[in-house]
A and B are shown apart, each in its own frame.
Chain A
């Protein structure tokens, strides 16, 4: 059963440290999304890739956050420097999108990375 894999599952770090979260999308999927979940804001879209190209990162604080896809099997989300307000659960999701076609597969989510910044 194919699934999106996220590592680490939990991360506790001190303010000012760099944090890297990784995501392995489902093989064959060409879209990857990063969402952040907090009690106050709910689920917010941070960044979106299609065919490894960033299409939308308007939800991401650019001064400290960066998202990349070094290859089709790996997506990364980095925070440098981390702050206590970054504490949240970060989800990666992948899907299949055929560009101009109307077909869009459902998104499949990973189990998330719970980040705590002290």
Chain B
């Protein structure tokens, strides 16, 4: 079974600065997807960014970018130019590429709380 680990329970960043969230995962599969979800106080789970394992290029979405290291099974999220609205819980998640019995279920890490200081 796949596992996802986020070793930082909480991270603090100054507004306009950059923060990097860590995520490692364990899998025997070679094809899979990785995601970062944001959960603000409203509780909604919002997809921030996704990465296909077969792609070497790191995904980028505006101020959010990832550093995907497949051999190291590492998938960190960088938030640049942090804004007050970025304050939230961030979850790293894994999904197999092929349906099989796992389907497209997500396996989540424990989350990292991001605090943004004005």
Residues of A participating in the B interface, judged by any CB pair closer than 8 Å: 31, 33, 42-43, 45, 48, 50, 55-56, 89, 91, 93, 95, 97-102, 104-109, 111-112, 114
Contact = CB atoms under 8 A, between A and B. Distances in A.
Contacts of A89: 43
Contact of A104 (B91, B95, B110): B95
A99 B101 CA distance: 10
Contact of B47 (A31, A101, A106): A106
Contacts of B50: 106
Interface residues of B, number: 26
A108 to B, nearest CB: 8
Contacts of B104: 31, 95, 97, 104-105, 107
B103 A111 contact: no
A55 B103 contact: yes
B65 interface: no
B30 to A, nearest CB: 12
A98 B33 CA distance: 16
B97 A104 contact: yes
A55 B105 CA distance: 11
Given A106-B50, A109-B45, A43 B103 contact: no
B19 interface: no
Nearest to A44: B108
Contacts of B109: 42
Interface in B71-118: 91, 95, 97-99, 101-111
Interface string B19-63: 000000000000101010100001111010010000000000000
Contacts of A95: 104
B91 A43 contact: yes
Given A97-B103, A99-B99, A106-B50, A42 B108 contact: yes
A95 to B, nearest CB: 6
A48 B45 contact: no
A33 B105 contact: yes
